[in-house]
Chains A and B, each alone.
Chain A
């Protein structure tokens, strides 16, 4: 598919994303397989810790189990320490590039969109990651939920300019 690349490509990509992933390095496409591998390990953890379980999500939102709080809490602690160490010791990527961090600007979307996503998370028992994993575990009907999530993202793109930000 040929998409014309506008000059402000990076600016558009930056909208409502946690970051853009820009690099000056040119790599052959098979280098992307390392992300596939990280994804596989990540998906296995998601199944084995039952993070993709609708039941675990319901327990979390009903304060009936510590499990999900433990998972997210310890993930954040490890993440904070890792980011601190990378910044402190200016650790570089395996290709010798400095690691870049983006600042997240506040907008009202984080409130409105956050609440709407919270609704969807509690209904489906899945955030975007678990949707992909659930399909992998053979829950074929989750394909519908995923397609609907893609439709929701597309609809957001369509109406983005008239929404409060």
Chain B
């Protein structure tokens, strides 16, 4: 059993479990599944700076901060108790492409050769981590949600604006991954 749990879980196990988060949060407290809002509540709690957008009672949404704290702890538990002892399986086409950028270490779930503290101050690292993170925070709030809020909760509730947002997430990702990211990784 434990050996099985330590293997990477297939999509048909993980996907339905993630989908069940929607009714679970609804039924245990009328909460709508969404993660990027937590970033806004952190701003409202720590640095509202008289910006009207952050002038609300963030304590009414404190459940969302408990939720993301749990998500963090889930990461700790999974890596301590259920870690996959083998390197990450990467598709041969991707592995070949990454090799041309000097990325060949697949021991971790993120490529540690480009995401680490010493690359952080190089142009590549700055773009990947600092600019990338900024786009995630800015874009999700501008769009009004992220993969969880729009692609899962919004689509579950058959909201067509969420479909528009989800399509734009994917279009943006395709453009970046295929056209722009190769240039960044070549830096």
Contacts and interface: CB of A to CB of B under 8 A. Distances in A.
Interface of A: 1, 3-6, 9-10, 12-13, 15-23, 29, 31-55, 57-62, 64-80, 82-83, 85-86, 91, 93-95, 97, 99-107, 109-129, 131-142, 144-158, 160, 163
Interface residues of B, number: 137
25 contacts: A13-B56, A18-B145, A32-B62, A33-B66, A35-B64, A40-B73, A73-B15, A75-B19, A76-B152, A85-B23, A112-B142, A112-B143, A121-B136, A122-B173, A129-B71, A129-B147, A132-B72, A139-B109, A141-B115, A145-B129, A150-B42, A154-B49, A154-B51, A157-B43, A157-B53
A21 to B, nearest CB: 5
Contacts, number: 545
Interface of B: 5, 8-32, 34-40, 42-45, 47-49, 51-58, 60-64, 66-79, 82, 84, 88, 90-91, 93-94, 106, 108-111, 115-117, 120, 127-162, 164-178, 180-181, 184
Contacts of A119: 135, 139, 172-173, 175-176, 180
Residue among B15, B29, B43, B164 with max Cβ neighbours from chain A (10 Å):
B15
Q: Which one of B25, B32, B79, B133 has the highest number of Cβ atoms from chain A below 10 Å of its Cβ?
A: B133
B77 to A, nearest CB: 6
Contacts of A158: 49, 51, 53
Contacts of A55: 88, 90, 94, 106, 109, 111
A150 B164 contact: no
A141 B135 contact: no
A120 B25 CA distance: 27
A113 B132 contact: no
Given A45-B14, A61-B176, A110-B164, A116 B9 contact: no
Contacts of A149: 39, 133-134, 136-137, 140
The A contact surface, by secondary structure, is: helix
Contacts of A66: 11
A12 B51 CA distance: 11
A20 B174 CA distance: 31
